[in-house]
Amino acid sequence: MTMKLILLTGAAGGAARMIRPLLRETYRLRLSDRAPVADRHPDEEDVPADLTDAEAVARAVEGVDGIVHFGGFSVEGPWEAILPANIEGTYNLYEAARQAGVRRIVFASSNHAVGFYRRDQTIGDNVTPLPDSRYGVSKVFGEALGSLYGHKYGMEILSIRIGNVLDRPVDARRLAIWISPRDLVQLIGIGLERPGIRHEIVYGVSGNTRSWWDNSNAHRLGYRPQDDSEVFAEAVLAADPGPSGDDVIDLHQGGPFCRLEAGGGA
Ligand code: 15L
């Protein structure tokens, strides 16, 4: 059986680079970023596109079986950056997919769509969004687009509120929200393959003992995480600088994003 061709936007970014080798085991990949991807594997296609350029985005989606949308601005930033990359760009991508008849999209949403929930709360996929940043607002917008295109146009869309994807968790906050690359790839596979989805929201988190999220919707869809940040907890906590002393940062799930202005990520 021939492998499905999947468009991966934001392909030069850190998260995409971690998951590309794993995705290549199951899919042919068409990479897309603003510039050609420097470390392209010989089996990967590359169709550069600025997400604000609707014609370029239309060329990138042409002929693919599904889309994994990691493109856009990935931390807090000025509205002048978030608006084109994450609002206009995500709209262009959904619209290009609809027009090209591409029915499957996996959207890299973020924990920052709900970052103003407190850490002593356990939240599920159906809570009211509480974005902690302009960036978080743009992720709520992307989820709303997923809902619209799923329900109105019959597309099949999974929005994954990703915590933090890395080989290992890097601080105390990330012990709650960390996801391993292989667990994220498992969720992406569910988004690309599972029949009967209109629009679903799940948390992109490993099976962490310290998780703040009720991920039963992901489990219902078949997710069986293989990793738990707890194996790193002792080392992470020994190296952690401790609370910042600012309750806005320390008590909320979004951490520094709850305070950040246009200056960047964490
Ligand atoms: C995100 O959404 C960012 O893309 C990532 O760089 C991390 O900052 C992550 O959130 C986080 O909350 O740790």
pLDDT in tens, 168-193: 999 999 999 999 999 999 999 999 99
Query: How large is the ipTM?
Result: 0.98
Residue 220 placed within a domain: yes
Residue 264 placed within a domain: no
- The 3-class secondary structure across the chain, one letter per residue, is CCCCEEEEECCCCHHHHHHHHHHCCCCEEEEECCCCCCCCCCCCEECCCCCCCHHHHHHHHCCCCEEEECCCCCCCCCHHHHHHHHHHHHHHHHHHHHHHCCCEEEEEEEHHHCCCCECCCCECCCCCCCCCCHHHHHHHHHHHHHHHHHHHHCCEEEEEEECEECCCCCCHHHHHHEECHHHHHHHHHHHHHCCCCCEEEEEECCCCCCCCECCHHHHHCCCCCCCCHHHHHHHHHHHCCCCCCCHHHHHECCHHHHCCCCCCCC
High-pLDDT (> 70) share of the chain, % = 98
Nearest to 251 by CA among 116, 144, 157: 116
Burial class (CB in 10 A: 0-12, 13-18, 19+), 53: middle
**Domain coverage including residue 34:** 5-258
Number of domains comprising the chain: 1
Q: What angle do CA 225, 116, 9 make, to 5 degrees?
A: 55
Mean pLDDT across 115-126: 98
- For 110, list phi and psi in degrees, rounded to 5: -145, 155
How many of the other CB atoms lie within 10 Å of CB of 198? 15
74 lines ligand 1 (CB under 6 A): yes
Identify the pLDDT of residue 210: 98
Identify the pLDDT of residue 263: 57
- Pocket of ligand 1, candidates 69, 107, 110: which has the most ligand atoms within 8 Å of its Cβ, to mutate? 110
Q: What is the distance between the alpha carbons of residues 260 and 266, in angstroms, rounded to a whole number?
A: 9
In the annotation, is 203 catalytic? no
159 lines ligand 1 (CB under 6 A): no
Identify the pLDDT of residue 1: 72
Identify the pLDDT of residue 72: 98
Residue 233 placed within a domain: yes
Residue 265 placed within a domain: no
Residue 263 placed within a domain: no
CA 189 to chain centre: 13
Mean pLDDT across 49-72: 98
* Distance (Å) from CA 196 to ligand 1 centroid: 30
The full length of the chain comes to: 266
Q: Are 227 and 85 in contact (CB under 8 A)?
A: no
252 lines ligand 1 (CB under 6 A): no
Identify the pLDDT of residue 176: 98
Residue 68 placed within a domain: yes
Residue 191 placed within a domain: yes
We report the CATH number of the domain holding residue 142 as 3.40.50.720
Mean pLDDT across 105-132: 98
Nearest to 199 by CA among 263, 258, 144, 264: 144
Among protein residues, the one with the nearest Cα to ligand 1's atom 9 is: 164
Residue 128 placed within a domain: yes
215 lines ligand 1 (CB under 6 A): no
